[in-house]
Amino acid sequence: MTRRQIADKAAARFLGGFHCAESVLLTLAEFYGVSSPLVPKIATPFGGGIARSASICGCVTGALMGIGTKYGRMRSSDDREKAYSAAASFMIAFEKRFGSLICYNLIGCDFRTSEGRKRFEELKESRCANFVKGAVEIVLEIENKTG
């Protein structure tokens, strides 16, 4: 599969009912061959910019967890620099591409209100699906550069 096809798969999952963090993590874990009953379950609290707080975008947290599935540690003695480096590169690239890492800055919705959730539904396909795609594309670009 191409990067674009993988990113499109993440967007389809998002539009199919998984939220942003779940969609990104599920797609990246699958790409990296990680099968766990915790995926995408572990990402559930991160939707809506972490528990609907409109804080760090769920695409960002999902991507960081996805990076962890590839470069994360299994033992405390394992090196964490590759994970930190890939995560930092991702965050810089996501912010450069979309202008912010903060959900509210990206879409202007307060998920804690019915008006905010309604506004999100209006932006879901036109904005958020693009953030989902972009997050996956950026991680795969980093993967391609670092191996």
Give the pLDDT confidence score for residue 147 in this predicted structure. 62
Question: In 110-123, which positions are buried (b, 16+ CB within 10 angstroms) versus exposed (e)?
Answer: bbeeeebeebbeee
Q: How many residues are present in the chain?
A: 147
Residues 27/136, Cβ–Cβ less than 8 Å: yes
pLDDT in tens, 85-100: 999 999 999 999 999 9
pTM above 0.75, yes or no: yes
Residues 139/66, Cβ–Cβ less than 8 Å: yes
Identity of residue 101? L
pLDDT over 90, % of the chain = 95
> Which residues of the chain fall short of a pLDDT of 50?
none
Give the pLDDT confidence score for residue 146 in this predicted structure. 75
- The domain locations on the chain are 3-146
Q: Which two tokens stand for residue 105?
A: 């800055």
What is the average pLDDT score of the chain? 95
Identity of residue 97? R
Give the pLDDT confidence score for residue 129 in this predicted structure. 97
Give the pLDDT confidence score for residue 142 in this predicted structure. 95
Give the pLDDT confidence score for residue 1 in this predicted structure. 85
